[in-house]
Amino acid sequence: RKEVEQDPGPFNVPEGATVAFNCTYSNSASQSFFWYRQDCRKEPKLLMSVYSSGNEDGRFTAQLNRASQYISLLIRDSKLSDSATYLCVVNPPNAGKSTFGDGTTLTVKP
Amino acid sequence: ETGVTQTPRHLVMGMTNKKSLKCEQHLGHNAMYWYKQSAKKPLELMFVYNFKEQTENNSVPSRFSPECPNSSHLFLHLHTLQPEDSALYLCASSQIAGDPYEQYFGPGTRLTVT
């Protein structure tokens, strides 16, 4: 089993749709979690951290479910510019290496 | 300059050449990373340096040789590469390696081995 698993998609949605991605992780001791966005042929960029209480940034909402060991990203009112690959990242405790998921590809169509 | 910079942005090299990739971070971080990303493939972690010490070598072939002279600079020395080494090479940095810190990426070097 991979340490971090994401549904690769692709997710194809119309503008204005709401879409959600999940990311499961295997190390129950994992402490911090992030979502990154990667545009085609560009570097990954931090989208948001994921906090235990859940957090929201505009149209984006991230949640953590420790009991079931997954994090989620919800995008409301999708825009064409949201088309990208979304990567989840899981940090183990202490100074262990971060693990990136393989990414979920989203295409928002007019 | 701010953030993480990488040079060169594009590199074409023959299999017998020797070249180096350079990464510099201006964020005051103590951890730096090299990743490889082949076309339409996931990120592959190659090396991690924490406070200038290598803490991770992800079974990378010896034709890739990293060097971290200080916390702000990271190099990847390349020699006798293979065509399958053609990829986007990304450098990243973080406050320290691991929890709870996020990584910041440079723009990458797009390498083509002919």
Residue B2 has pLDDT above 80, yes or no: no
Inter-chain CB proximity B100 and A102 less than 8 Å: no
pLDDT, tens only, B89-104 = 999 999 988 878 899 9
Top residue of B4, B99, B103 to mutate, by most chain A CBs within 10 Å, is: B99
CB-CB contact of B36 with B97 (8 Å): no
Residue B26 has pLDDT above 90, yes or no: yes
Q: Say what percent of chain B tops pLDDT 90.
A: 84
Which of A87, A66, A65 shows the shortest CA–CA distance to A5?
A: A87
pLDDT at A96: 66
Task: Say how far apart CA A59 and CA A57 lie, in whole Å.
Answer: 6
Q: Say what percent of chain A tops pLDDT 70.
A: 97
Q: How many residues does chain A have?
A: 110
Gyration radius of chain B's alpha carbons:
13
| CB < 8 Å from B in window 60-79 of A | none
Average pLDDT score over residue span B5-27? 96
| Average pLDDT of the residues of chain A | 93
Inter-chain CB proximity A95 and B107 less than 8 Å: no
Could you say which of B42, B55, B103 has the minimum Cβ distance to residue A102? B42
Q: Residues with Cβ < 8 Å from A19, sequence gap 6 or more?
A: A11, A13, A74, A75, A78, A106
Which of B39, B93, B82 shows the shortest CA–CA distance to B60?
A: B82
Task: Say how far apart CA A82 and CA B113 lie, in whole Å.
Answer: 33
Q: Does A109 touch chain B (CB under 8 A)?
A: no
pLDDT, tens only, B58-74 = 899 999 999 999 999 99
